[in-house]
Amino acid sequence: LPLKSIVLVTGAAGQIAYSLLFSIAKGDVFGKDQPIILLLLDIAPMLPVLEGVVMELQDCALPLLREIVPTDKEEVAFKDLDAAILVGSMPRKEGMERKDLLKANVAIFKSQGTALEKYAKKTVKVLVVGNPANTNCLIAAKSAPSIPKENFSCLTRLDHNRARSQVAMRCGVPATHVRNVIIWGNHSSTQYPDVHHCLVNMSGSDLACFDAVKDDAWLKGDFISTVQQRGAAVIKARKLSSAMSAAKAICDHMRDIWSGTPEGEFISMGVYSSGNSYGVPDDLIYSFPVQIKDKTWKVVDGLAINDFSRSKMDATAAELIEERDTAVTFLGV
């Protein structure tokens, strides 16, 4: 282990960061004995707010948190990083065209990818959360050619956790008794939450999800749309986005990169598709089932895919291809 882990969180004055930073700083992600330096990036107008977040982190009096560096400068924020959690992005504003929003995000993630290339360790692990997360992640990876593409991932763990909990509530078991759900594709309403390989531990033994739930119509209908629409449902109820559960999912995702996934289990994350898995086209960041060992992920191969799943996996890939092809036209701008 390095003496201190250097961890960047961008969007550090925002809602997700407010839930996330405490968990990282107290050791939930990088280990209970791992001292941490936190670099906190936000845009200049947010620096006064960020100062308040820094004060609160100081006031937590945490044993592992050795240094906190708030900044609006990329050359400070990206220096010598071990881990980068890119939460900040351009939000959709009233009347903003989809294309203009994408263009603004390409500019941000091109710049941050370039900063990773210039200043971070080559072994840095990069997690992109800010939406459109898959495409932002691809742009960052393309802008940092000397860092392996495998070291970039985007967050679909929140969708994964939502799927797990929906099944668990239906079966009356804790969420931890449901494993191997899969989120395929984009972190959007075209994502495909797949339970064909999911196991539910009921009364001490593992049942296939369809046998545990005993309601195929629900699993192929309302279950899928509930998970797909969950983010919007939280916003409607709370009038704010799902910051607490997003922060929890970020911790799950990074902790698994650092420490590995449990034996026999897989999780979902958006990773670089090289065209070799499940017929997903190459050069996309696409959410797959993965297992992680020694800080290296592998797509879980050989799972049977039926026609129902195939068409949903292709639809979400098509969406990502379209978004990528528009995004790369902004790269030269």
Ligand X SMILES: *[C@@H]1O[C@H](CO)[C@@H](O)[C@H](O)[C@H]1NC(C)=O
Ligand Y SMILES: NC(=O)c1ccc[n+]([C@@H]2O[C@H](COP(=O)([O-])OP(=O)(O)OC[C@H]3O[C@@H](n4cnc5c(N)ncnc54)[C@H](O)[C@@H]3O)[C@@H](O)[C@H]2O)c1
User: Hey, is 156 helix, strand or coil?
Assistant: coil
Question: Residue 208 Cβ, how far from ligand Y at the closest point, in Å?
Answer: 27
CA separation for the pair 182, 198 (Å, rounded): 8
β pairing state of 182-184 and 192-194: antiparallel
Question: Residue 304 Cβ, how far from ligand Y at the closest point, in Å?
Answer: 27
Here's the x/- map for ligand X, 187-206, by CB under 6 A: it reads as xx------------x--x-x
Question: Please, which residue, 278 or 297, has the CB nearer to ligand X?
Answer: 297
What are all long-range contacts of 171-174, with beta carbons under 8 Å and residues at least 24 apart? Answer: 171/200, 171/202, 171/212, 171/213, 173/200, 173/201, 173/202
Here's the x/- map for ligand Y, 277-316, by CB under 6 A: it reads as ----------------------------------------
92 known member of a binding site: yes
Question: Residue 225 Cβ, how far from ligand X at the closest point, in Å?
Answer: 15
180 known member of a binding site: no
Neighbours of 35 (CB within 10 A): 17
Contacts of 89 (CB under 8 A, 6+ apart): 11, 105, 108, 109, 130, 131, 136
Q: Over the range 303-332, which residues count as b (16 or more CB within 10 Å of their CB) and which as e?
A: beeeeebeebbbebbebbeebbeebeebee
Q: Does 322 bind ligand X (CB under 6 A)?
A: yes
Question: Please, which residue, 39 or 138, has the CB nearer to ligand X?
Answer: 138
Query: CA of 14: how far to CAs of 9, 76, 170, 289, 296, in Å?
Result: 10, 19, 33, 29, 30
134 known member of a binding site: no
Question: Please, which residue, 128 or 178, has the CB nearer to ligand Y?
Answer: 128
**Nearest CA-CA partner of 160 in 283, 320, 290:** 290
Question: Residue 206 Cβ, how far from ligand Y at the closest point, in Å?
Answer: 28
Q: Of these residues, 160, 187, 197, 253, which one is catalytic?
A: 187
Active site residue 197: no
CA separation for the pair 135, 98 (Å, rounded): 13
Q: Does 233 bind ligand Y (CB under 6 A)?
A: no
Question: Residue 167 Cβ, how far from ligand Y at the closest point, in Å?
Answer: 19
Here's the x/- map for ligand X, 122-151, by CB under 6 A: it reads as xx-x-----xxxx-------------x-xx
CA separation for the pair 284, 317 (Å, rounded): 8
Q: Does 287 bind ligand X (CB under 6 A)?
A: no
Tally the residues of the chain: 333
Question: Residue 204 Cβ, how far from ligand X at the closest point, in Å?
Answer: 5
Beta bridge partners of 63: none
Q: Does 89 bind ligand Y (CB under 6 A)?
A: yes
Choices 62-70, 87-95, 194-202, 273-281; region in contact with ligand Y by CB under 6 A: 87-95
Contacts of 42 (CB under 8 A, 6+ apart): 10, 11, 12, 13, 14, 49, 50, 70, 72, 88
Q: Does 185 bind ligand Y (CB under 6 A)?
A: no
Q: Does 156 bind ligand X (CB under 6 A)?
A: no
* Count of positions on this chain that bind ligand Y (CB under 6 A): 27
**Tokens matching residue 253:** 């995702």
Binding positions for NAD(+) are: 42, 105, 129-131
Instruction: Provide the binding-site residues for ligand X, judged by CB under 6 A.
Output: 122-123, 125, 131-134, 148, 150-151, 186-188, 201, 204, 206, 257, 295-297, 319, 322-323
Write out the catalytic residue numbers.
187
Binding positions for substrate are: 92, 98, 131, 162
